[in-house]
Structure 1
């Protein structure tokens, strides 16, 4: 009796035509062998089911699920996601060894057909690692610094915006309100000042609409999920309902592009090479030189769009999480305010010069960035060439996911990582002790371009708000707003919530 006869007997298929079944069985066996086979000397990891891999099993919090798999497969895993493999780096050492020690091999970007279609190959976020990215990155760092990012002049702009924010909070007259909207406008105005040379009033409805459409990919869970999944399964963008979500995303992009292009056109009309006002003017100067074709109109449009997004959502959401922590941990709010009033006073103006004298404030902010990791899996990287990591062979073009959440919640490094404890960063002498294992802006060549500005904003905004207001939950709601959940994809941002700000 042959093997197929045994199979037919086992499943009770005796008497059915054998030829079709044999072909089906052979096809199934071959597909299974192909699906579950591994490249030689590759990292361990789960393969999931054909065509979908582990996608059906990762859940909403992919980073947390993958961190759990570390117990089975170790800190370096090769996980089948969709039709391709993803290298997941589940602890600080693996991320450091890949992104910092081997930057040229691990700093690529996987293709994203949807974003490539929208950006027409421009911008920085999805640009692969190479000469184009390097030259544009260098220009960005130099130009932003030239217009004050990281300098005292930028601090003055931020302080001015804080006064507008505080007035907006004060206008609520101690009634419950959703602070997220005004926070986004305040933070966005800082990056607008640097890139556009202007700010917008908080009651500007058109600017509010543009801002909302710009941030759809972060605030809408369905859109956020689709953008991430299309990196690993791009073919889904043609399949309903994903296709309809893509069309909505494109429509929002068109409004943002029109808004930004109009600003660029205005700059071109009033351009004066002897008076460079902002980032756009500096870019236009390089365009007019005509020496580097990478300085194009589309590249400028995409560049400022990315600065607009990154300079708004990351910091605004960090401050939103900070306020949620103030509501959930009132003792921390009390300690924070006591330090602020002791160092700055009730009427003083917060400055970065105060920062070294405020250990609890520094500890609070660092614990905030650890506790509510804003970019749980960072932005996906890609290997630009064959690489080796801890003895494992990693082929060229492998998608790489640095699991920042796993680093921030590693029980082997942190005691009770699930708890919010700013005191973990304060030593016996009462001094703030920074940790290299808190990496909210990632590490390596592709760390966040706006890190300096973001750190300045978080410190100055938080200190100034705590100095002027006491924050408490909305009593009419009857319960604290949720802090363990949120919209989760490229960024982990809190759900909308109400609070009460009582002026001190």
Structure 2
């Protein structure tokens, strides 16, 4: 009994000493580094890394300031908590803060390829230039991007009215938005009941599901060592399986394009990319099969999820604020009419609609923390030293909820963006697509989709609550990188 007690005491003392030493070693901040919470030994702030992290980090601003550090496992990340410092880092010092960190989770899944997670350098610049040119419509397809969105709108409206109560709103919005990507990437759209297309949408939706497994994967992205634990390993395997299935689908389409490629008839994004490959712009420029597949995956993931999420939030906003829907309809009646076709040429004549969309982007920010950045060189922000290779988050949520910029920011009020004459006031403090060299590649397309799909829906349909089910809270959502509303039922009634 005495020997057991001694051994047990020794074990406790040893464990206590280990954690004490570990804590002391990891509590030491780098010289002149921003202040912030250290959290617990081994894991740092990870136990608190749930829910809307943008909102949580914003609350730390009062205690720690506009530039703070967060201990994630054994690394210190920097969070930028207001517009001025984000603008300084990502725009004015974009060359120093436009890198992408080496993250074991993303490296394992995508191998550093694609466009979103490619580090800042010549490869990234080549791929971004190619993407901007192609997405503007030069050399791709026979129709403009706007024509594609306009043509897709009636299909979406028909789908939304295919049943008395719509119970799969996120999926239906995904259909429409994803089909725009399909038109650009594959050269054609798909029927909403096409088996392969439906499978593609289900995979896309699975990436951001609010499930226990996805939360575990999210934690692995913050603390990669967790991937060795059985429960995390199982979640990672499931996620990797979905991504591999997605890549296999894209690879099949890519090979079909290669077999039918004609340099005199560039049909779509894939053909344009293959042309670059055939012209010898290969590995050093990023034009390889691997980069192509993950570039397409990036376009679908980023180009579908955030835009469809914004449209779903808009429908929920109409249910909580029916006056917003009627004001938008009044503008549609005055500017477009019942039989006209909504297009971007109408936008400047519809100030309230523009104000509603901007307020929705502010109030229900789809990417509260944007995408990870990395310091590509040692730099300073607000007097603090930011070492090279430091992970940096721009907290877009804190910009959108800054009470010094927006009066009563928790209130959803589109009128805040109208002047005394009722004209729309564009705000450079509403930055859902981030800013600087790494701002969203598809910003122009996303803005176009939201405006045309939204006005198209309101022109033809009334958005009404389902009396048989309760609505989720409009002021809270589900955060899994993307900030989405909780599921809800809705009715669409023809006007």
Same fold (TM over 0.5): yes
Q: Give the aligned length.
A: 488
Deviations 1:76-108 (A, max 9, x none): 101112211110111111111111111111111
Tell me if 1:480 matches 2:471.
yes
**Which residue of structure 1 lines up, in the alignment, with residue 147 of structure 2?**
156
Within 5 A, what are the aligned runs for 1:269-348?
269-293=259-283, 294-348=286-340
**Which residue of structure 1 lines up, in the alignment, with residue 350 of structure 2?**
358
Q: Tell me how far 1:19 sits from its aligned partner.
A: 8.8
Q: 1:344 to 1:21 in 2, by over 3 A?
A: closer
Within 5 A, what are the aligned runs for 1:22-101?
27-101=18-92
CA distance in 1, matches of 2:176, 2:99: 33
Q: Tell me how far 1:63 sits from its aligned partner.
A: 1.4
Deviations 1:106-134 (A, max 9, x none): 11111222322222332111111111111
Q: Tell me how far 1:65 sits from its aligned partner.
A: 1.3
Task: Answer whether contact 1:321 1:372 (CA < 8 A) is retained.
Answer: yes
Give the TM-score normalised by structure 1.
Answer: 0.92
**Which residue of structure 2 lines up, in the alignment, with residue 412 of structure 1?**
404
Within 5 A, what are the aligned runs for 1:87-486?
87-147=78-138, 153-172=144-163, 174-293=164-283, 294-477=286-469, 479-486=470-477
Greater mean alpha carbon deviation, residues 61-70 or residues 21-30: 21-30
RMSD (Å), alpha carbons: 2.2
CA distance in 2, matches of 1:284, 1:404: 36
Q: 1:436 to 1:283 in 2, by over 3 A?
A: same
Task: Answer whether contact 1:218 1:487 (CA < 8 A) is retained.
Answer: no
Q: Tell me how far 1:451 sits from its aligned partner.
A: 0.4
Q: Which runs of 5+ in 1 are unaligned?
A: 1-14
Task: Answer whether contact 2:209 2:480 (CA < 8 A) is retained.
Answer: no
Q: Tell me how far 1:278 sits from its aligned partner.
A: 0.5
CA distance in 2, matches of 1:384, 1:298: 24
Q: 1:26 to 1:179 in 2, by over 3 A?
A: closer
Task: Answer whether contact 2:80 2:86 (CA < 8 A) is retained.
Answer: yes
Q: Tell me how far 1:58 sits from its aligned partner.
A: 4.1
CA distance in 2, matches of 1:20, 1:243: 29
Q: Tell me how far 1:28 sits from its aligned partner.
A: 4.9
Q: Tell me how far 1:68 sits from its aligned partner.
A: 0.8
Q: Tell me how far 1:334 sits from its aligned partner.
A: 1.2
Q: Tell me how far 1:57 sits from its aligned partner.
A: 2.7
Q: 1:17 to 1:308 in 2, by over 3 A?
A: closer
CA distance in 1, matches of 2:471, 2:323: 15
CA distance in 1, matches of 2:321, 2:16: 59
Q: 1:234 to 1:347 in 2, by over 3 A?
A: same
Task: Answer whether contact 1:404 1:442 (CA < 8 A) is retained.
Answer: yes
CA distance in 1, matches of 2:215, 2:484: 13
CA distance in 1, matches of 2:232, 2:194: 32
CA distance in 1, matches of 2:97, 2:219: 21
CA distance in 2, matches of 1:230, 1:237: 6
Q: Tell me how far 1:493 sits from its aligned partner.
A: 1.3
Q: Which runs of 5+ in 2 are unaligned?
A: 1-5
CA distance in 2, matches of 1:463, 1:37: 54
SS at match of 1:244: helix
Q: Tell me how far 1:380 sits from its aligned partner.
A: 1.1
**Which residue of structure 2 lines up, in the alignment, with residue 9 of structure 1?**
none
